[in-house]
Amino acid sequence: MGKFLARLAELERELRGRHPHPLVGPPSLHAGVLRGGTAPSVYAASSKLTIERRMIPGETRSKVVEEIAGIIEELTRSEAGFRATHRLALAREPFEVSREAAIVGCVARAVEAELGTPARYGGQTPWMDSALLAAAGVETVVIGPAGAGAHAAEEWVDVESVVQLARVLVRAVMDYCA
């Protein structure tokens, strides 16, 4: 497993060096869960690794699977006794919306009207339901309140920003549905 983890670290460095998406940056991966072994002084007879690989717009599931399969194939050829299998447990397509989309314009106008400042455009790599909605043909934009610590032990949101967001959403919906 050590050599596989080393190759995975090389792949992570290579991913970070790829041409970044203008809003979300380069793709990434990390070894999220590793289980195996029976004692500190005993080589593990087997282990199981769960990898999270965040795709950016333009990447495909097949390419991601091919990257991991390539590491396994190379180690199987070069390392005596190395055996591994892989399977894709879950894949979610990346989400991207055009700045020209009607919903983006409605939300941007609502932000400016309610907050008095131009909307800021950005991106994030965490997967959200927006990708499912967009794939179904529903114009989608991601917007949220101010806060930090998503999925952490201390996750918080600024209450006033929730109130502001509610006003922005009402205004955006009224504009979009007009």
For the question of whether the overall pTM of this predicted structure is more than 0.75, the answer is: no
Residue 12 sits in the same domain as residue 73: yes
Q: Per mean pLDDT, which range of 7-21, 61-75, 123-137 is the poorest? A: 123-137
Q: What percent of the chain has pLDDT over 70?
A: 100
- Per the domain annotation, does 84 fall within a domain? no
pLDDT surpassing 80 at residue 127:
no
Q: What are phi and psi of 145, to 5 degrees?
A: -80, 170
Residue 41 lies in a domain: yes
**CATH number of the domain where residue 125 is located:** 1.10.150
55 with 106, same domain: the answer is no
Q: How far apart are the first and last CA of the chain?
A: 58
Structural domain total, the chain:
2
Structural domain range at position 142: 102-177
